[in-house]
Amino acid sequence: MVDLAFAATNPCHLYPLAQATSALGTRTTFYSGYPGWRLAEPHPTHLRTHSLRTLITYGLLRVPERFRPRSRTLFLWQDRHFDRWVAGALARHHFVHAMPGQALETFRRAKTLGVTTVLNHATGPSRHWVQVMRGEYEKAGLSIERATVYDDTFRRREDQEYALADRHCAASTLVRDQLVAFGVRPERIWVVPYGAAPEVFFPAPEGGSPVRFRILFAGQVSLRKDLATLLRALEKAGRPDWALDVFGSVGAEVRGELAAYRGATPLTVHGAVGQRHLAEEMRRSSVLVLPSLEEGFGLVVVQALACGTPCVVSDAVGAIDLIKPRTNGSVFPARAADALAVELEFWAGQPRRVDGDYSWTGPAGILRRLSEEALGSTAALMPTS
């Protein structure tokens, strides 16, 4: 039986993936920066937690910024310590998955134990991210290095983590291609998509379509998400009979774009909500739109699909792997407001719900198969303790 380990300060995508691999009968260990009581049950086969710095970090983030360290400083303090803790706690496994910025000491220790290292990417290389987003930050009068963790120190650490990674696990073919462009050999990359929790994200019982054409945007409203393109598309469409609902925290750098909106379609900003509330809003919406300039996957896409809601996404969103054009959604070129307006008009005239299995079971099965194939004839052997 293959033995998998995952390490992450917060549950992100790795925790539900670990839950699903464990449910398939795979021996699974999760090293968590969250306390056990904050993690959904059932837990994976084994759960190890070390949460003090995570609790301090998220507690301080509630304090006004002028009275606390910068968010960037807090997250680096959290992630570096967590990485060192995992390195000290790491047992023998066949594979250990860790995320960029949290993997260096873990991978160094894994090498001494004979554990295969897997760098698990929610997004592409930081250099690609910076290439795409630098101009947007400069237009907003911001320094991308000061506003994010992606400075020279981070990139040097990332290079070391890449050098120690035996394999890479990408959320999408988009991220895979970015990794290849930055020198990773294709045969070392696994593509494992994301899923949605079926107990939260499921279709409306009646399976009908909303009476009004209701557009949903979900996620942190930031420069990267490019809500501005959606707003321009709505201004071009000029449809007062539509509605746009935005769910997510709004960054200071994009508040001007929201204030400048002059479209005929009513816009309501609701702020951040919990997962179950978001799922209900997805079931009440006609389409979800994700116009991001850079998005390794886009978890809200698979969540919306699981709720039966078609998704209209830019071609910079990794979840395009799941989209069947004008069947369960649409793909348009990033920044192309005209093309987005055309797709919105299509879905307004063709209201429908979508179906399919978008749970984590499929991704977990893919990962288990790839892991067993990599182990080859030793797949049935357990590591010695």
pLDDT in tens, 97-154: 999 999 999 999 999 999 999 999 999 998 998 899 899 888 888 888 888 888 888 8
Please say if the pLDDT value at position 347 is more than 90: yes
- Place 207 in a pLDDT band, splitting at 50, 70 and 90: low
Q: What is the pLDDT of residue 152?
A: 86
Q: What is the pLDDT of residue 209?
A: 63
Q: What is the pLDDT of residue 330?
A: 98
pLDDT in tens, 364-373: 999 999 999 9
Share of the chain above pLDDT 90, in %: 79
- Place 208 in a pLDDT band, splitting at 50, 70 and 90: low
- Taking the model in full, what pTM does it have? 0.92
- Place 206 in a pLDDT band, splitting at 50, 70 and 90: confident
Q: Which domains does the chain have, with CATH numbers?
A: 3-194+360-377 (3.40.50.2000), 214-349 (3.40.50.2000)
Write a three-state SS string for 263-330. Answer: CCCCEEEEECCCHHHHHHHHHCCCEEEECCCCECCCHHHHHHHHCCCCEEEECCEHHHHHCCECCCEE
Share of the chain above pLDDT 70, in %: 97
Instruction: Classify burial at 230, counting beta carbons within 10 Å of its beta carbon; exposed 0-12, middle 13-18, buried 19 or more.
Output: buried
